[in-house]
């Protein structure tokens, strides 16, 4: 390896955790008498050279593109394929979708360490980085509509109206509360264009930072020294445009490798599991079970703006069926717009409904097939919608009504943590997620009970969001999806979903947990995030914690920010 090109810090990934890490580390590094060289390796394309990512009108088209979104080879314990993936772009999922709400400080203290006061203060510091004078503070008519309907069925806001209107406060989940509404700051302007994200609070053009996009870290290189802790000396990196592989070096004595690569973090470490004597690598992996819910037609008097594709309202509720020992926090996201606008997003969800399991298994292992099938599903949905609109148009004309007015739709998804955790296979080629795992001996399926309970409990809220589609559309819709509009339809939907329709939120957590695979830093702050058995490898993203109950993205930002602060704690 060429030591002339060595770096003091190499960061693998530029997602949420990396943005959180760099936002603090670059500032602290500027105070050094000799600033350290930082290399960032990103598999995706440059955020600044791709308008489809940086300035996409709404976020759904980027979400629907195979070159941005990659699938994992993920199955549940019954060998049923799960649509689970990752965003390959700077800022991770943040530049594509967003849910700005923090996990509770109690949860962070329990799973990461430090005090509740520490996490409260860290959130305040991080939230300042998200403030932008260019973004709207007012709520759109659709946002107000969702809030009003939710409040009518017993939901309450988690923050004050003054914080919502004037301070762009990022809400934090409070322990012990059931039905809550969390209004978070939108990152879209009134035209639906993203003007701010986690990428925005990193100085990517700092002279000490070198960013390499379209490059994949394929292997970690450790020294042959037989010390107590293995020292990483470099990373083998593949240029995805040329296929060329080179090894970039870490500074010999003090170089550090920071893994912020999400699901790729455990994959890079697993081949060295024996060398590191760390059996916890690749364990305790999970993602949210994500269940799409009904489509409803919004009142024509409610104006839909470009920023409503992802409505900045997050609803949480707590449910505990009799068969389940612990309460489960369930989360609802809301989306609105014309059918064509939402089709990119919907086509991704409906891959789970329209494809047989054997085809989905092949799709998980074949990237081009993922893009092809997603495109076919989207065309199928648009064609079906076109045919239905013609039928409705003739029906309207026969009854003296206008042919058709462009209808705006509103829909929601419910997400919750599966009871059972998963793991990576020993060769990292497959991930097993504990979705709808049946308990031995009892034949109880806790995830099914949670799903049935929460959908039934909140069906009144869902049905109040808008009018149910006309009978033709609804019949066609339920033929393929089984999504319920009536309480009697819920159990069948959950049963079919658990066998055929598995979908995750696309934010895989775990694999290198604090206190199990990596150091909490309680004895030495500068060891925070260090992989046990290594001298200089650190984890600073969602791979380091169990699955958060709410927004994994904000937790990833916090973890990156936290690890950077601890590593810089001994700087003069």
Label residue 345 by pLDDT band (50, 70, 90). low
Q: What is the pLDDT of residue 96?
A: 47
Inside any domain, residue 473: yes
Which range, 27-36, 185-194, 219-228, 238-247, is most confident?
238-247
3-state SS string for 390-430: HHHHHHHHHCCCCCCCCCEEEEEEEEECCCEEEEECCCCCC
Is residue 28 predicted with pLDDT exceeding 50?
A: yes
Model pLDDT, residue 572 = 43
436 versus 399: which is more confidently predicted? 436
pLDDT at residue number 57: 47
476 burial level (CB within 10 Å; 0-12, 13-18, 19+): middle
Residue 179 has pLDDT above 90, yes or no: yes
Please state the rounded mean pLDDT for residues 161-190.
76
pLDDT band at 58 (very low <50, low <70, confident <90, very high): very low
Alpha carbons 297 and 147: distance in angstroms, whole number: 17
User: Is 404:398 a contact under the CB 8 Å cutoff?
Assistant: no
Three-state SS annotation for 351-389: HHHHCCHHHHHHHHHCHHHHHHHHHHHHHHHHHHHHHHH
Segment 346-374 mean pLDDT: 79
Residue 305 lies in a domain: yes
Integer-rounded Cα Rg, in Å, for the chain is 24
Range of the domain at 434: 135-196+287-500
Nearest to 57 by CA among 196, 186, 197, 192: 192
The number of distinct structural domains making up the chain is: 1
pLDDT confidence band for 60 (50 / 70 / 90): low
Q: What is the distance between the alpha carbons of residues 80 and 287, in angstroms, rounded to a whole number?
A: 15
Residue 405 inside a domain? The answer is yes
Residue 385: inside a domain, yes or no? yes
Provide the CB-side half-sphere exposure for 99 (13 A, CA).
28
Give the whole-angstrom CA distance, residue 50 versus residue 47. 6
Distance CA(356)–CA(81), nearest Å, equals 10
56 has pLDDT over 70: no
Q: For residue 526, tell me if it sits in a domain.
A: no
Contact criterion met (CB below 8 Å) for 434 and 510: no
Asked, for residue 453, whether it belongs to a domain, the answer is yes
- 80 located within any domain: no
CB 71 within 8 A of CB 365: no
Query: Furthest-apart CA pair in the chain: how many Å?
Result: 85
Q: What is the mean pLDDT of residues 178-190?
A: 81
Q: What is the pLDDT of residue 145?
A: 96
Backbone phi and psi for residue 205, each to the nearest 5 degrees, phi listed first = -100, 10
pLDDT exceeds cutoff 70 at 160: no
- Does pLDDT of 538 surpass 50? yes
pLDDT digits (tens, 9 = 90+) for 75-117: 999 999 998 888 777 776 554 456 788 999 999 999 999 999 9
Rounded mean pLDDT of 228-245? 95
pLDDT at site 255: 94
**538, two tokens:** 């650190």
* Mean pLDDT score, 328-345: 84
Q: Which of 124-128, 164-168, 224-228, 567-571 has the highest mean pLDDT?
A: 124-128
- In a domain, residue 362? The reply is yes
The mean per-residue pLDDT over the stretch 250-275 comes to 94
- Whole-number percent of the chain with pLDDT over 70: 87
| CA separation, residue 185 to residues 19, 487, 523 (Å) | 18, 34, 37
CA distance 97 to 29: 30
């Amino acid at each position: 390896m060429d030591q002339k090109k060595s770096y003091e810090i190499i960061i693998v990934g530029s997602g949420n955790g990396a943005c959180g890490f760099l936002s603090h580390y670059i500032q602290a590094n500027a105070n050094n008498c000799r600033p350290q060289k930082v290399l960032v390796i990103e598999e995706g394309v440059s955020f600044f050279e791709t308008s489809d990512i940086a300035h996409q009108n709404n976020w759904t088209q980027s979400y629907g593109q195979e070159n941005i979104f990659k699938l994992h080879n993920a199955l549940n314990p019954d060998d049923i394929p799960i649509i689970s993936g990752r965003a390959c772009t700077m800022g991770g999922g943040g530049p594509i979708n967003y849910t700005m709400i923090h996990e509770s400080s109690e949860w962070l203290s329990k799973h990461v360490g430090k005090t509740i006061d520490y996490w409260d203060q860290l959130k305040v510091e991080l939230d300042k980085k998200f403030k932008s004078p260019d973004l709207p503070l007012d709520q759109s008519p659709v946002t107000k509509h969702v809030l009003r309907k939710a409040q009518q069925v017993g939901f309450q806001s988690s923050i004050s109206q003054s914080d919502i209107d004037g301070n762009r406060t990022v809400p934090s989940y409070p322990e012990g509360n059931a039905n809550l509404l969390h209004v978070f700051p939108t990152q879209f302007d009134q035209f639906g264009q993203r003007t701010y994200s986690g990428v925005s609070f990193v100085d990517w053009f700092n002279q000490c930072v070198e960013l390499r996009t379209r490059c994949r870290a394929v292997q970690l290189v450790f020294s042959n020294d037989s010390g107590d802790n293995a020292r990483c000396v470099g990373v083998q990196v593949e240029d995805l445009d040329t296929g060329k592989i080179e090894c970039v070096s870490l500074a010999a004595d003090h170089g550090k490798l920071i893994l912020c690569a999400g699901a790729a973090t455990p994959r890079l470490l697993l081949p060295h599991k024996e060398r590191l004597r760390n059996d916890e690598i690749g364990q305790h992996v999970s993602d949210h079970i994500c269940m799409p819910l009904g489509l409803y037609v919004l009142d024509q008097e409610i104006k839909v703006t470009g920023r409503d594709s992802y409505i900045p309202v997050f609803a949480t509720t707590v449910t505990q069926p009799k068969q389940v020992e612990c309460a489960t926090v369930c989360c609802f996201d809301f989306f609105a717009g014309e059918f064509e606008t939402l089709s990119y997003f919907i086509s991704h969800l409906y891959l789970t409904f329209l494809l047989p399991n054997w085809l989905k298994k092949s799709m998980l292992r074949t990237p081009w097939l993922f893009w092809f099938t997603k495109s076919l599903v989207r065309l199928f949905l648009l064609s079906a919608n076109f045919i239905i609109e013609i039928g409705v148009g003739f029906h309207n004309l026969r009854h003296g009504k206008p042919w058709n007015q462009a209808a705006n739709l509103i829909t929601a998804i419910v997400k919750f943590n599966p009871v059972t955790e998963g793991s990576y296979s020993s060769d990292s080629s497959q991930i097993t997620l504990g979705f709808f795992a049946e308990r031995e001996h009892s034949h109880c399926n806790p995830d099914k009970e949670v799903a049935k309970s929460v959908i039934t409990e909140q069906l009144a809220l869902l049905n109040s969001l808008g009018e149910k589609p006309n009978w033709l559309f609804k019949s066609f819709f339920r033929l393929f999806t089984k999504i319920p509009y009536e309480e009697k339809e819920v159990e069948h939907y959950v049963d079919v979903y658990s066998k055929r329709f598995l979908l995750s939120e696309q934010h895989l957590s775990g694999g290198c947990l604090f206190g199990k695979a990596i150091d909490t830093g309680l004895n030495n702050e500068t060891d925070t995030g260090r992989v046990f058995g290594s001298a200089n490898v650190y984890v600073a993203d969602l791979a380091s914690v169990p699955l958060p109950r709410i927004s994994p993205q904000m937790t990833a930002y916090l973890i990156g920010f936290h690890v950077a602060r601890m590593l810089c704690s001994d700087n003069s």
